[in-house]
Amino acid sequence: MLITNGVVVTFGKDHRIIPNGAVKISGDKIECIGESAVLESKYPDDSSVDAEGQLIMPGNICAHTHFYGAFARGLAIPGAAPKNFPEILGKLWWKLDRSLHAKDVEFSTLACLVDAIKHGTTTLIDHHASPGSTIGSLDIIADAVKKSGLRACLSYEVSDRNGAEETEFGINENERFLKKMTTEPDSMLAGSFGLHASLSLANKTLEKCRAVAETLNTGFHLHAAEGLADQEDSTARFGKRVIHRLHDAGILGSKTILAHCVHIDAWEMERIRDTGTWVTHQPRSNMNNAVGVSPVETMLRGGIKVAMGNDGFSNNMFAEWKAAYLLHKIWQGDPRAASGNDVITMAVTNNAALTRIFWPEAPLGELSAGAYADIIMVDYQPITEMTAGNLPWHILFGFEASAVTGTMAAGKWLMKDRILTTLNEREIAAHSRECANAVWQRFAE
């Protein structure tokens, strides 16, 4: 199959723009990219889709998200509004996740996947919690992902906050799903070992998780130093800072993802860098929770691999890019902070590198021969010259969410001309509203 007559934005090592470009797709991979006229004459028998001058780009990647959080939209929290991050956890998230039944997990996931397809996010690294409906929850999510045609890495947030039995269920759910990924591999799915955060985990739980993870050759996916409370808890209970505690427990490493790292000091950064651990940045969530700003420029400068997620905000990753670009400027009082290139380093380059842990067979996040055919079409007519060098600023100042018109993952169209092909948005939204009503009722009880 050919996608012709577009402006091909490659990202990746080549990082170039091919005007009048085309992409040739074979199975789930890109066979080659090049000039439209050249590929059309080389592959005259291929079916072709005319991009009509739109941008042809790699699908976006989201390095940290929560499909379980979709029904928080519009939910009223009883009583006084939460005044800090621990209260946001206690009054909202830890009540919402407990209110989810299996059907709710399914539709909360599907609602997020519709959003991801519409906004061109083709790979999502999810961090799930539904205590009370833990066992089998990752299979429910996996089935929804398969139905959607998207690509996702799943994990269950182990936490001691719901008692010993739930801790056990969470560990078992990660173990079960990770084993399944080896006995029944699916090229669109992967797994990681999920942990909630230092503040909700005892040492003996961390020990147990590490022992299980070791047998499965996996890293971890957890929140770290998202709010100050995580540091206060760790220093009070264990006499050490969060990252040192996690390091001593064997949680850090080149397959582990730490979401946020807002409140870490220089020595914690050193530990993160030296262990090759990944950090993900979610500026919209950090602003919304008023937890502070993650020092991502300092981390990047020192060689820490900072990627970008959305923490359950909209799956329009371009909106997350914009938030990062703006937040660091106002925070530092310096318009030079967080350049467009820094944003691309996190959201494109590092996100793509992170996915190789889970999909080692071929690159994602770039258009190149041999890469996965995860591709989006963006209806964007540059009003000034667009080059590989100034591309980040065209995206940051020019792209709107509605500009994505086509989404493909593994060579299959999931949305074409803004019409979804695998999921029915109206039906999913209607079911979601029904589920959400019941969840809201349980939440209020």
The residues binding Zn ion (CB under 5 A) are: 259, 311
| Burial classification of residue 64, based on how many CB atoms lie within 10 Å of its CB (0-12 exposed, 13-18 middle, 19 or more buried) | buried
- Give the Cα separation of 314 and 318 in Å (integer): 10
| Burial classification of residue 234, based on how many CB atoms lie within 10 Å of its CB (0-12 exposed, 13-18 middle, 19 or more buried) | buried
- Among residues 89 and 145, whose Cβ is nearest to Zn ion? 89
Residue among 111, 121, 41 at smallest CA distance from 432: 111
Shortest distance (Å) from residue 435 CB to Zn ion: 21
Shortest distance (Å) from residue 284 CB to Zn ion: 11
Residue among 86, 10, 91, 26 at smallest CA distance from 412: 26
- Helix (H) or strand (E) segment spanning residue 86: helix 85-88
> What is the identity of the amino acid at 60?
N
> For residue 185, what are its two tokens?
């591999």
- Among residues 43 and 85, whose Cβ is nearest to Zn ion? 85
- Among residues 122 and 155, whose Cβ is nearest to Zn ion? 155
- Among residues 268 and 311, whose Cβ is nearest to Zn ion? 311
- Please answer whether residues 343 and 321 qualify as being in contact, where contact means their C-beta atoms are separated by less than 8 angstroms: yes
Task: Report the 10 Å Cβ neighbour count for 217.
Answer: 9
- Give the Cα separation of 317 and 351 in Å (integer): 12
- Among residues 93 and 325, whose Cβ is nearest to Zn ion? 93
Shortest distance (Å) from residue 366 CB to Zn ion: 26
- Give the Cα separation of 22 and 43 in Å (integer): 11
- Give the Cα separation of 2 and 305 in Å (integer): 34
Shortest distance (Å) from residue 38 CB to Zn ion: 45
- Give the Cα separation of 83 and 205 in Å (integer): 30
Shortest distance (Å) from residue 246 CB to Zn ion: 16
- Among residues 17 and 228, whose Cβ is nearest to Zn ion? 228
Shortest distance (Å) from residue 420 CB to Zn ion: 26
Residue among 52, 59, 57 at smallest CA distance from 6: 52
Shortest distance (Å) from residue 427 CB to Zn ion: 28
- Among residues 227 and 365, whose Cβ is nearest to Zn ion? 227
